Amino acid sequence: MQKEIMQSYLPQDAVAEIFDDAAVFEVPSAEIKHVVEELCVRHGAEFKLMTATDERAEHDCFKIWYVFGVPGEHFFLVPFIRLQDTEIFPSIASMVGRAMDDERRIKTFFGLTPLEHPDLRPIILHEHWPEDVFPLRKDCNWKTRPRMESGEYVFQKVEGEGIYEIPVGPIHAGIIEPGHFRFSMAGEHIMLLEPRLGYVHKGSEKLFEVLPLEEKITLAEKISGDSSFGHSLAFCQALESLSDTHPSERALSLRVVYAELERLANHFGDLGAIMMDTGYSFGGAHGARMRERMMQINERLTGSRFLRGVNAVGGVCKDVNDTEVKALLAELQEISEDFSEVIAVTEESVSLLNRLKGAGVISLKIAQQEGLVGVAAKAVGIARDTRLDYPYAAYRDWALADIATETSGDVYARFRVRIKEAHASIRIIQAVLDQLPKGAIHPKNKKVTFKKNALSVSAVEGWRGEIVYVVKTNEKGTISRVVPRDPSCVNWAALKHAGYDNVIPDFPLINKSFNLSYSGNDM
Amino acid sequence: MSIALWTIQILLTPLVSPLCVGVIRKLKATWQNRQGASVFQPYRDLWKLMHKDEVMSRDASWIFRVAPVMVFAVTMVVGASIPLFASFLENSLTGDLLMVVYALAIGTFFLALAGMDTGSAFGGFGSSREMTVSALAEGGLIFSLLTVALISGTTNLFTMVNVATIPSGQHVLSALLALCGFVIVLLAETSRFPFDNPATHLELTMIHEAMILEYSGKKLALMEWASANKLFLFMALSVNLFFPIGLAQQATVGAIGLGMIIFLIKVAVFCFVIAFIESSMAKYRFFRLPDLLFIAFILNVVAISLIR
């Protein structure tokens, strides 16, 4: 049935290979623009990501993969093109805004050039990296140190009377991740903001190709530390799909519990941090306190404050016993009341609301153009949530009542979305724990073997937004490419629009209301 | 006796001011459910900074080197020019209210220059914001002091508190309005909420901290100390001008002791008020600050027009 629906989305003469919920089909290089347009415009498919693989050893070609999702039908469409004897491919950046940075990544890491791309400056890798060394090509040995180069990065420039620039970072006064921001200012107003990232690039994508399986999962947990569980879940789901492993009902339910616990901890922390940045110390202190409480619950349940080491291929490694279920249910009730009380007080503070409202507005148009995801997208009224659009784990049974959205698109909207999501998370955990299925949580001693020449797409709604993993195996059935996509990669591109025409003292607050991961973007 | 008294008067400001900062921080921490550092931590910080090496930008000029001394010296001079614990002392040289206001302005001037001196973007916008705020605060400051001067018929601050008009019930409304105006100006001049966040680590939102961002070691210690002094001086001015109760009237040990204790209690209460404001509200957006300062100015104009 699903296969037939999938078929209806494909171009007429395309022959698709179907892997679980992903249909992979080849498109001639010259037709890819047309196919992308068909998918986006006619079928309303969502662009997820695009990436490349180096298959010169096996098939004597590079391949460029385009991953689309069809939210209503819960499946993914993956057209790809083959680059034989050429290192140039047609750019789709003019049609799909989100593909802009993905194509720059392909250019930087594979050395394949998107034709007619407006901005071909290297991304992530800085000037000291030689421009002719492409780390994700298979013939680039990850253990070699390339020669040191030098050069100058050219920032975008605003001309005009009284325009001056403020360089901020990469080292900041607070304890946060490194990133450089270049502001072009007219008085106190931001005319242009250009973030420059890449300071925490760790070569994760390359590492995924060489590390043993267990360490790959650990690596996924460290793509962005605050979304450890979301990342390991997305990665494990992709591996399960590739190896035809089906976790038990209990494991699927527990994954929902852990995922929502992670969301709660981070939303509490963010709400506190937003208030702290306005100087409203009451809210800041309580946010930090409630986040810490969640972290301690995480540690009690799994031995890890960040829920690391919990996910494995085929299930989860940490069970929750009946006494713990009772204790957790009681504690969640308490947390829910506590949270409502704190929020009731903060919503009375005129000075706080005045700072939050109207700051850092993103319009619906820009959000759609940049393909915003997660909390930031919900704050402009885009009702997209992977838990509903592409249900995974036990979300198939425990669907959300509705997606928490706001319409104003300012800091306050993002603040409100987090509050609503936190309440919803508590309800979901309670509902799941109430009817936790019995059984094993992990198949013991099962050897994992992967399908050959297969591809799997897995999406998870992390607390920040949609986390996507694309995993590919080669002819021997070993993992040849892993593409993690943290929501930060997408939303960083949209942040500059949120800064425009705000006063610069408000920028830290706007940035905090997105709270994007530098590590998740730089990988 | 007189020499001893003046020594106390001059040393009181730098000795007690770090304690005020410590008390405010401790109170704020308590209200945030935190333990907080000891109230004596600011002294330890100053001690630590005094023993640290300094890093200075190659582009720094003499202004950068001189500014901390100037800013600190100004607060010492003003500390000797306003009534703290005794009202019988006389200072006709620098005790005039305009003298005090513009002495403080010299400090602000050098602070702003020092912020711009190294050419860092943060220092530049810190100075620009500081000048915006202090230019707007000046009117409110002078007019609130002028209200008290008109009520008491003198512009010398020591004589002003001696006349002690306000407790006697004359012009209570004017005095209260002027007090409100003065407190708003105080918060602006001493970089407290809702104008500035002294505890922030966000460079882009800073005013005072942005100007001293380039300083380190002894010079930073002087800058920090000077800003603590300024806070103390403004609190002393407001408690003594508007509540001139308990000031020592004659040079006896008992009267001075009592005057000192009452003065410190008044300042402590004021610290409590500031800590409360900072714990219960968010910082204002930068472009709402002028409105607040205009309110201070208007309150004082109303206060003056109500006299007689």
Taking only the tens place, the pLDDT of each residue in A76-90 is 888 888 888 888 888
| Arithmetic mean of pLDDT over chain B | 90
DSSP H/E element including A66 = strand A61-70
Find out whether the peptide bond into A170 is cis, omega within 30 degrees of 0: yes
What average pLDDT does this structure show over B272-276?
93
What average pLDDT does this structure show over B27-50?
93
A interface mutation test: which of B283, B287, B288 has the most A CBs within 10 A? Answer: B283
pLDDT number for residue B287: 85
Contacts of A278 in chain B (CB under 8 A): 282-283
Where does residue A196 rank: exposed (0-12), middle (13-18), buried (19+ CB within 10 A)?
middle
CA distances to A129, A229, A383 from A374, in Å? 33, 16, 9
Predicted model pTM: 0.90
State the virtual CA torsion across A419, A424, A430, A432 in degrees, nearest 10.
-140
Instruction: Show contacts of A330-338: CB within 8 Å, 24+ apart.
Output: A331/A297, A332/A426, A332/A429, A332/A430, A333/A430, A335/A264, A335/A290, A335/A293, A335/A294, A335/A426, A336/A423, A336/A426, A338/A290
This complex has an ipTM of 0.86
β-bridge mates for residue A483, sequence order: A470
Decide: A183 and A504 in contact? Cβ < 8 Å: yes
Contacts across the A-B interface (CB distance below 8 Å)? 82
Task: Name the A residues in 149-168 with CB < 8 Å from any B CB.
Answer: 164-168
Contacts of A168 in chain B (CB under 8 A): 121, 203-204
A167, A278, A505 ranked by CB distance to B282: nearest: A278
- Strand segments, DSSP code E, in chain B are none
Residue appearing with tokens 């050039």: A113
Size of chain A, expressed as the number of residues it contains: 523
| Cα B289 → chain centroid | 18
pLDDT number for residue B169: 66
Burial A25-43 (b: 16+ CB within 10 A, else e): bebebeebeebbebbbeee
pLDDT number for residue B260: 92
- Strand segments, DSSP code E, in B42-171 are none
Residue B164 has pLDDT above 60, yes or no: no
Task: Name the A residues in 248-307 with CB < 8 Å from any B CB.
Answer: 275, 277-282, 284-286, 289
pLDDT number for residue A342: 92
Do the chains contact at A282 and B280, CB–CB below 8 Å?
A: yes
State the virtual CA torsion across B191, B193, B199, B200 in degrees, nearest 10.
-100
pLDDT number for residue A271: 93
Cα angle value A437/A441/A443 (rounded, 5°): 130
Beta strands A22-26 and A75-83, pairing class:
parallel
Do the chains contact at A352 and B282, CB–CB below 8 Å?
A: yes
What average pLDDT does this structure show over B235-245?
89
A interface mutation test: which of B24, B202, B284 has the most A CBs within 10 A? Answer: B202
Q: What are the residues whose beta carbons fall under 8 Å from the beta carbon of A242, sequence distance 6 or more? A: A19, A450, A451, A454, A456, A471, A473, A479
Residue A265 has pLDDT above 90, yes or no: yes
B125, B201, B281 ranked by CB distance to A280: nearest: B281
The crossing angle, in degrees rounded to 10, of helices B253-280 and B2-31 is 30
Contacts of A167 in chain B (CB under 8 A): 121
Contacts of B291 in chain A (CB under 8 A): none
Least confident range from A160-164, B113-117, B297-301: namely: A160-164
Residue A398 has pLDDT above 70, yes or no: no
pLDDT number for residue A400: 64
Q: What are the residues whose beta carbons fall under 8 Å from the beta carbon of B87, sequence distance 6 or more? A: B158, B161, B162, B244, B247, B248, B249
pLDDT number for residue A269: 93
Cα(B204)–Cα(A174) distance, integer angstroms = 12
Q: What are the tens digits of pLDDT across the range A324-340?
A: 889 999 999 999 999 99
Decide: B104 and B189 in contact? Cβ < 8 Å: yes
**Which tokens in the block code for residue A408?**
């104003």
Residue B165 has pLDDT above 60, yes or no: no
- Band the pLDDT of B168: cuts 50, 70, 90: low
Cα(A409)–Cα(A403) distance, integer angstroms = 15
A195 has a chain B CB within 8 A of its CB: no
Cα(B101)–Cα(B107) distance, integer angstroms = 10
Least confident range from A4-8, A270-274, A485-489: namely: A4-8
Residue of B nearest to A171 (CA): B203
Cα(A134)–Cα(A124) distance, integer angstroms = 12
Cα(B152)–Cα(B218) distance, integer angstroms = 42
- Band the pLDDT of A70: cuts 50, 70, 90: confident
pLDDT number for residue A245: 85
Q: Tell me the DSSP string of A406-446.
A: -SS-SHHHHHHHHHHHHHHHHHHHHHHHHTPPPS-SS-TTP
Share of chain A above pLDDT 90, in %: 23
Residue of B nearest to A181 (CA): B204
- Which residues of chain B have a Cβ shorter than 8 Å from any chain A Cβ? 28, 31-34, 121-122, 125, 193-194, 197, 200-205, 278-288
The nearest CA of chain B is from the CA of A502 a distance in Å of: 11
- Band the pLDDT of A475: cuts 50, 70, 90: confident
Decide: A406 and A417 in contact? Cβ < 8 Å: yes
**Which tokens in the block code for residue B104?**
């403080």
Q: What are the residues whose beta carbons fall under 8 Å from the beta carbon of A257, sequence distance 6 or more? A: A320, A429, A432, A433
Contacts of A505 in chain B (CB under 8 A): 204-205, 285-286
pLDDT number for residue A234: 92
Cα dihedral sign, A323-A324-A330-A333: negative
Assign domain A2-115 one CATH number from 3.90.1530.10, 3.30.460.80, 1.10.1740.10, 3.30.2130.30.
Answer: 3.30.460.80
What average pLDDT does this structure show over A168-195?
86
Cα(A325)–Cα(A254) distance, integer angstroms = 11
Beta strands A466-473 and A455-461, pairing class:
antiparallel
Q: Do the domains spanning A2-115 and A213-485+502-518 agree at the CATH topology level?
A: no
The amino acid occupying position A426 is I
How is chain A split into domains, by residue range? 2-115, 213-485+502-518
**Which tokens in the block code for residue B159?**
């004589």
Residue B170 has pLDDT above 90, yes or no: no
A213-485+502-518 architecture in CATH? Orthogonal Bundle (1.10)
pLDDT number for residue B166: 56
Q: What are the tens digits of pLDDT across the range B106-134?
A: 999 999 999 999 888 888 889 999 999 99
